[in-house]
Structure 1
Amino acid sequence: MRTGSEPVQARSPLRLRCGLAVWGLAWALAGTVVFAELGRPGWAIACGVLSAVTSADLFMVVRHIRQGPHYQPGRDVPPYEPVKRDGRGRRSGPRNPPP
């Protein structure tokens, strides 16, 4: 819900997240190979699963970067009105007006 207090120029750090995902993917792949060579199948599988998760995250980050900026309402758009509630925590007014 938009309250009107959001920063006007807020941006997601996707490039930093992309770099960290590449770094994590490199280490996870290296761990998979090293543990497989050392005969530690449990650790190799764990690193392989981590590689899959990191690859999926990297895919989504690159997808979001390629999509570009999305629509953000400007300063001329007022914040949304919060739902009005009575003292008991319920919405004020009838939910279903009588016919």
Structure 2
Amino acid sequence: MRTGSEPRTARSALRMRLWLSVWGLFWAIAGAAAFALAGRPGWAVACGVLWLIVTVDLSVIVRRIRQGPHYQPGPDVPPYPPSRD
């Protein structure tokens, strides 16, 4: 039975998001530099915008990691309120 509270109780693998963002940051910087050197300013700007987005995402991820763990119910607590049936 779904209750609609899943987005509030969802969890994210922050460490995985961190490393994927670092990987994306590396490729965005490399792409911006390579396209700038190759004389493709449009693609260099696109990679620069991606670089900015990834940097903002990284700052959000690091902030959430530094906030520390929040309440997460154990395996005996169901992920939704039990039905009244």
For this structure pair, what is the TM-score category when the shorter chain's length is used for normalisation?
0.7 to 0.9
Q: TM-score by structure 1 length? A: 0.64
Percent identical residues: 58
User: Are 1:79 and 2:78 matched, yes or no?
Assistant: no
Gaps of 5+ in 1: 82-99
Report the CA distance between 1:57 and its aligned residue: 0.5
Aligned-residue offset at 1:80: 8.2
* Separation in structure 2 between the aligned mates of residue 54 and residue 38 of structure 1, nearest angstrom: 23
Deviations 1:38-79 (A, max 9, x none): 11000000000000000000110111111011234664xx83
Task: Give the whole-Å Cα distance in 1 for the aligned partners of 2:63 and 2:55.
Answer: 12
Q: Which has the higher helix share?
A: 2
Equivalenced residues, count: 76
**Aligned-partner Cα distance in 2 for 1:61–1:80:** 32
Q: Give SS of 1:57's match.
A: helix
Cα distance change of structure 1 residues 17 and 64 upon mapping to structure 2, 3 Å threshold: same
Gaps of 5+ in 2: none
Partner of 2:50: 50
Q: Is the 8 A contact 1:2 1:80 kept in 2?
A: no
Larger Cα Rg: Structure 1 or Structure 2? 1
User: Which residue does 1:66 correspond to in 2?
Assistant: 66
Letter in 2 for 1:68: G
RMSD of Structure 2 on Structure 1 (CA): 2.9
